[in-house]
Structures are given as C-alpha cells and as structure tokens.
C-alpha cells in the first residue's frame, strides 16, 4: 500500500540534517546550559547561537527571542502576561483563531473580567478591517489585538501590515499567531508593526516540543513560568538544548532554501487544485485556499460533493489507503465538534458536505497527489 502524508499543517517530517544535529547534541553537548563548567558553557553557547540565528533572520534582537515548548505556550504567555502585566482591558480577536488563542482569551475573560470582542469576518473568512478599526476606536481601554497571520484550516493570509498599522494608530498592542507562517515566509520585524508573535519548530521540519515567542524589546511583560534564571529570566526551566539546536537547524535550512522550496510546494498545490477540479466535478475550495496569492501555498481546504453519510467514512477510507490528511486542526481530532473555522464561514447546508484539509511539503510528489485524487474519485463513484 502506498503511503502519502498530506497533513503537513499538523506537523512536518523532520529533516535529516536536523536529526543528525540533535543526535550530535545529545551525545556530545549534554551539559546543563546554566552550569558554569565547560560542559555547561558549551551548551549555553549553542543556545545563544541559536537565538542569534533566529533574530538575525527575522531582523530582530536576540533578547526579543524567547524559547518555549511551542506555539501554544507562547500564545498563552503573551496573552496572559499582557493582561496581568500591561493592564490590557480589552482583547480583540476573531472566531477563527487557533484554540491556543481562543481558549486562553475565554479564560482571561473569566479570570480578569476583561472585555472580549470578535472582529467580523467577510464571506471567505478574512477579518473586516473597517470593523476592527471601529472596535479599536470604541473606547479608551487598553487594547490588544490577536489575529493570526495564516489560518491553519483554510490558509487565508491576513494583511499583517494593515492590522499592525491600525493598532499603532490606535495605541493598541498587536499579537499574531504565526505558527503556520514562520519558516514558510520571510519576515523583517523592524518594518512590521507587530509587538508579539509565536512559532513552533515542528511546522517547518523541526522537532516537536520547541518553539519561540518574539516579544518586542521593552514590552514590560514579566515571566509566566518562574523558578530559575533561564531565558534571561523570562522563562524558568532547564533549556531543552537538543530541541533548541534542532529548531535552529530547521530554521536555517528553511530560510536557506526558502525560494526554491516555496516554488516547489506552490507547484504541487497548483497541480493538486487543477487535478482535483478536473477529476471530481463539483469540488469547492473553502476560504481563499484556491488563491495562491491570498492563501498560503502549503495547504488547500476542499469541500467534496459527497452526502453527509458518505462523508462520515471518508477519512477512514483515505487512512485505509495510506493517505494522511485531516478535517481541520489536529488539536481538535479527539472532539466530536466540527471545525469552528468552517462553522463561521459556511451555512448549515454547506457544512453537511465533507471538507478536508490537504497540506503539502517539499517531500510530496505529483505522483502522490495523483494517487490521492484517484482514491477520492473511486470513493465518489462507489
């Protein structure tokens, strides 16, 4: 049976170079980075080198990069500390954010009594900037806007520059969950009006369990996790050195080969879009995922012309044929609830049709896409 992995928005295959670098670190540089002897100093040097590598590529300062366990921790840390330490009284977000943001905001509303407003979305899932401006201007409370750059289910790209400009004009802080875009898009943080952003290594061919937060210098945030003085006093806990150097290696490779790998994956996505339209009449693309300029090149959200009953067996059938994809965020795979993202932009009738997220990487091939579409076509005809 052929094996096809098309769930790269959930997690990616780790590069060989990353595995080799992590093995070397585990075998050779096993000292605690906080220790003052040579073993510890060697590990600490490598941690700080990784921080500088990331900062230089993003055009940030090393002190603005804080290593975390991943995107969820980074989102929690930024949102919680903004309310606790910066006096944020109002958070403006959208109902199609990742649950790492949505559930954190809900908890903050209960714990601190903050105001929470959800910016209106247009018919394809983009935040309406005129409504965002209205929300920013409605009162004098201290505000934070949290809008993701690339939606992890439908792939829409938010105009970060426009949102950031509105926030600056209205004295609001701006946080963006950039987990789906770090490692896939170039950034210049000296010229992007953003205060906080988050990343996870496993979304760009690195290890799981490691990521980072970008926290603009002099933000005023204080630690969420306290204890030792690691991460320049901002996040206590012994640094997972092997994961950090794995993140660095994945980050280096992602940006060294960004142009060529972007072009490769773009071609795969376009091939998939063209082929599935040709082979399965009636297919619809959710959000803006059929537009390679306005959505990420790494994923397509597809609504298939199958009835509800047939749709219930679709993922199981694909899995039995060796094909990995998803209904939406992997974080919700254990839930009976449908996609909260699709529920916001689709009618009840539209939601009855099965939607799948196919997400691509440089390790995929056109032959794999042919096989996947053939399996879908046969399923439709039976």
3-state DSSP assignment of residue 180: coil
232: alpha, beta or left? (left if phi > 0; alpha if psi -120 to 50): left
153, 144, 156: which is closest to 117 by C-alpha? 144
167 is catalytic: no
Tokens of 21: 């670098």
Residues pairing with 299 in the sheet: 359
The Cα–Cα gap between 179 and 309 comes to 34
Question: Cα–Cα distances in Å, from 290 out to 36, 72, 276, 277, 326?
Answer: 54, 28, 11, 11, 17
Q: Where are the alpha helices (DSSP H) in 143-193?
A: 160-169
Is the alpha carbon torsion for 62, 68, 72, 77 positive or negative? Answer: negative
Task: Give me the catalytic one of 81, 167, 325, 331.
Answer: 331
End-to-end CA gap in the chain: 20
Residues 210 and 70 sit within 8 Å (Cβ to Cβ)? yes
Residues 147 and 93 sit within 8 Å (Cβ to Cβ)? yes
Residues known to be catalytic: 331
């Amino acid at each position: 049976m052929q094996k096809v992995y098309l769930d790269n928005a959930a997690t990616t295959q780790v590069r060989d170079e990353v595995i080799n670098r992590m093995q070397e670190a585990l075998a050779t540089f096993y000292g605690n980075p906080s220790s003052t002897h040579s073993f510890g100093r060697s590990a600490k040097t490598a941690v700080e080198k990784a921080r500088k590598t990331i900062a230089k590529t993003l055009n940030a300062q090393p002190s603005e990069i804080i290593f975390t366990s991943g995107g969820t921790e980074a989102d929690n840390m930024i949102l919680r500390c903004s309310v606790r330490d910066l006096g944020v009284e109002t958070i403006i977000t959208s109902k199609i954010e990742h649950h790492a943001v949505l559930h954190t905001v809900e908890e903050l509303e209960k714990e601190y009594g903050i105001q929470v407003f959800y910016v209106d979305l247009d018919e394809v899932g983009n935040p309406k900037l005129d409504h965002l401006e209205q929300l920013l201007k409605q009162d004098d409370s201290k505000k934070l806007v949290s809008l993701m750059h690339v939606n992890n289910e439908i792939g829409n790209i938010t105009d970060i520059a426009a949102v950031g400009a509105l926030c600056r004009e209205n004295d609001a802080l701006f946080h963006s969950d950039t987990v789906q875009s770090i490692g896939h898009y170039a950034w210049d943080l000296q010229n992007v009006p953003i205060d906080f952003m988050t990343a996870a290594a496993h979304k760009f061919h690195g290890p799981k369990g490691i990521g980072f937060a970008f926290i603009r210098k002099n933000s005023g945030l204080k630690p969420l996790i306290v204890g030792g003085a690691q991460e320049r006093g901002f996040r206590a806990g012994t640094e997972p050195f092997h994961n950090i150097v794995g993140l660095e290696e994945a980050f280096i490779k992602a940006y060294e080969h960004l142009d060529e790998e972007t072009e490769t994956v773009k071609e795969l996505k376009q091939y998939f879009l063209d082929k599935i339209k040709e082979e399965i009449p009636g297919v619809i693309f959710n959000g803006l995922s059929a537009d390679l300029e306005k959505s990420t090149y790494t994923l397509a959200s597809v609504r298939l012309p199958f009835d509800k009953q047939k749709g219930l067996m679709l993922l199981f059938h694909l899995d039995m044929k060796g094909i990995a994809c998803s209904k939406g965020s992997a974080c919700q795979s254990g839930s009976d609830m449908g996609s909260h993202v699709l529920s916001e932009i689709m009618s009840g009738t539209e939601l009855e049709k099965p939607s799948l997220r196919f997400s691509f990487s440089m390790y995929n091939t056109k032959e794999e896409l042919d096989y996947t579409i053939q399996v879908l076509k046969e399923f439709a005809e039976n």
